[in-house]
Amino acid sequence: MDELNYKSYRIDAENICVDYHGKVALYDANLRLKAGQICGLVGMNGAGKTTFFNALTGFVNISKGKIRINGESLRIAQQDQSIAYVPQSEGIDSQFPVSVWDVVMMGRYGSMNILRSPRESDIQAVKDAIERVDLMELSSTPIANLSGGQRKRTFLARAIAQRASILLLDEPFAGVDIRTEKLISELFIQFKNEGKTILLSTHDMIHVREFCDLVLLINKTVVAYGETSEVFTPENITSTFGGMSPDVLFGPES
Amino acid sequence: MDLCFLSTNITSFVADPLSHEFMRKALLMSSLVAAVCGFLSSYLTLKGWALMGDAVSHSVMPGVVVAYALGLPFSLGAFIFGVGSVALIGFVKQKSRVKEDTVIGLVFTGFFALGIVLVSKIKSNIDLHSILFGSPLGISLSDVKQTVFISLLVVILLSVFRKDLILYCFDPRHAKTVGINVLFLHYLLLTCLSLAAVVGLQSVGIVLVVAMLITPGATAYLLTDKFDNMTIISVISAIISSVLGIYFSFWFDLETGGSIVLVQTFIFLFAFLFAPRYGIFKFKKLFSSY
């Protein structure tokens, strides 16, 4: 049954492990998401959330396991522009000399020629994306001159311009103003209706209950995964945030 | 009367050196080298590769010596050792628990020391002083050809892959996510760095070439928030520094390489103090547009 249906999963991560120089960051993690699902990724700092994102974008190699995106390998998913990643604010150099327009245009690079010279359709996609995050009047502004929320919207616009079917968002609500938070919430509903699959990490429990159909609790591995109403229980949350690391429980070889 | 005297003086300050063939050549070649290094400088400063630039430029030393001894183009030897040092840094970093900056310092001083030992051992007409401190006034015809060729190559590479390299410096994870070959860009930038170090060392020598690679970019970074402007400012400030540096060295009998770098440092200092938006004394209100 699973073999027949494997293409119906947007994200299919099976027993993935990531280690950095022999230090385990994530082990035996599983995740399956379909079109139109929003999943919250919840865990402590250092629990492996960013590592999970890095594995799904192909930015780090997995040492074990398998990742399928739309039933295909990561390489094909990258070529198909299937995955868009929206970094957390600390993950980028906010002083880098590029404008809002430049950043959003980067969302189109993967489907452009080698010189990355924009076609009419790319320009239109960038315009539409910037309009959707309500930054049109700031489109030529350097990102160094934006507020945290405006910068977050810029990166969301980049993901929109990319027209990816899967959105990975690292702490989308951290450090943003109320206006941006409201706009992101509205966008989530639109994305869901468009059939996009969203995986977002967050520290805010209220956001999980509000947006997420599913929740993935991790602490170096999956602590619990399932429908938010069933899985997001105080017991599970406690064990996610209070649980000991696998090194302590099983010894370093695990 | 005074004004007339002053203008005659300025004219002779500018024109006298130009009557010498070696000075015209030095000015032209150093401007070219400065332009190339200045062009690359924007990328290196934004990527945070100052230490890497220092490492590569010092590591080319044994390559230059061996190439001279064997009668090969010195740029070839320098390039092999420049890229080799970076590969070695990557290897040691990956295979040991020693931190990156330590590995960089360790590898490049090792290469540099090897170069110095080789110079003392290989009996040839290698002038240690000109390798270490540059000799823009004594540049040979074959050096000119190499320099022009390498400069063109770097400029073409940086221009063709300009947007990808900006993205690579800015957000390599996004580049990877949309299927751009990040490893290729990494080595492309390193190649350009090695090549620029090779041409730069003729102007200011191995010891100071890193200044050519980072100071113009750092200066420009204080003056603008647009990448294109940053590149233009970086190139212009690098060329001005080279020209002024050579003039000062001619008139006041100064070491040319040191003189060029010192002018660059002064331009940086000026930007550091008076940059409209990012200087110590912000003149944002005076220059509301930038």
What ipTM was estimated for this complex?
A: 0.89
Phi, psi (rounded to 5 degrees) for B181: -75, 95
B48 burial via Cβ count (<10 Å: 0-12, 13-18, 19+): exposed
> What type of residue is B243?
V
Most confidently predicted of A152-166, A197-211, B187-201: A152-166
Question: Are the Cβ atoms of A109 and B163 closer than 8 angstroms?
Answer: yes
pLDDT (mean) for B82-103: 90
Question: Taking a C-beta distance cutoff of 8 angstroms, is the pair A11, A41 a contact?
Answer: no
Query: Which of A115-124, B43-52, B87-96, B220-229 shows the lowest per-residue confidence on average (mean pLDDT)?
Result: B87-96
pLDDT (mean) for A97-101: 97
Question: Taking a C-beta distance cutoff of 8 angstroms, is the pair B228, B163 a contact?
Answer: no
Q: How far apart are CA B19 and CA A168, in angstroms?
A: 64
Question: Residue B213, Cβ neighbours under 10 Å: how many?
Answer: 28
The DSSP code for A143 is G
Confidence class for position B9, pLDDT limits 50, 70, 90: confident
The DSSP code for B278 is T
Share of chain B above pLDDT 90, in %: 58
**pLDDT tens digits along B107-127:** 999 999 999 999 888 866 677
> What is the pLDDT, as a whole number, of residue A5?
59
> What is the pLDDT, as a whole number, of residue A251?
41
> What is the pLDDT, as a whole number, of residue B289?
47
Rounded to the nearest angstrom, the minimum Cα separation between B141 and chain A is 35
Question: Are the Cβ atoms of B225 and A102 closer than 8 angstroms?
Answer: no
More confident: A5 or B204: B204
Question: What's domain A3-82+164-250's architecture?
Answer: 3-Layer(aba) Sandwich (3.40)
Share of chain A above pLDDT 70, in %: 93
Please check the confidence at residue A103 and state whether its pLDDT lies above 80. Answer: yes
Q: How far apart are CA A79 and CA A81, in angstroms?
A: 5
pLDDT (mean) for B74-101: 88
Look up tokens 């990561």; give the residue: A74
Please check the confidence at residue A249 and state whether its pLDDT lies above 70. Answer: no
E strand intervals along A34-128: 38-42, 64-69, 83-86
| Nearest partner of B199 among B151, B259, B258, B135, judged by Cα | B151
pLDDT (mean) for B90-99: 88
Confidence class for position A197, pLDDT limits 50, 70, 90: very high
pLDDT (mean) for B259-271: 96
Domain limits of chain A?
A: 3-82+164-250, 94-163
Share of chain A above pLDDT 90, in %: 72
CA A31, A34, A35, A41 torsion: positive or negative? Answer: negative
Question: Taking a C-beta distance cutoff of 8 angstroms, is the pair A236, A217 a contact?
Answer: yes
Q: What angle do CA B33, B138, B218 make, to 5 degrees?
A: 25
> What is the pLDDT, as a whole number, of residue B290?
45
**B111, B116, B117, B119 alpha-carbon torsion, rounded to 10°:** 120
Q: Where are the alpha helices (DSSP H) in A62-162?
A: 74-79, 100-106, 120-132, 148-162
Under an 8 Å CB criterion, which residues of B touch A? Answer: 46, 94, 97, 160, 163-164, 166-167, 169-180, 221, 224-227, 229-230
Please check the confidence at residue A46 and state whether its pLDDT lies above 90. Answer: no
Size of interface A-B (CB pairs under 8 A): 77
What b-and-e string marks burial along A148-179, b requiring 16 or more CB atoms within 10 Å of the CB?
ebbbbbbbbbbbbbbbbbbbbbbbbbeebeee
Give which of B49, B178, B230 to mutate to test A binding, by max A Cβ within 10 Å: B178
CA–centroid distance for A123 within its chain? 25
For residue B226, the chain A residues in CB contact (below 8 A) are: 97-99, 142
Averaged pLDDT of chain B:
89
> What type of residue is B32?
L
Confidence class for position B286, pLDDT limits 50, 70, 90: low
**pLDDT tens digits along B268-281:** 999 999 998 888 88
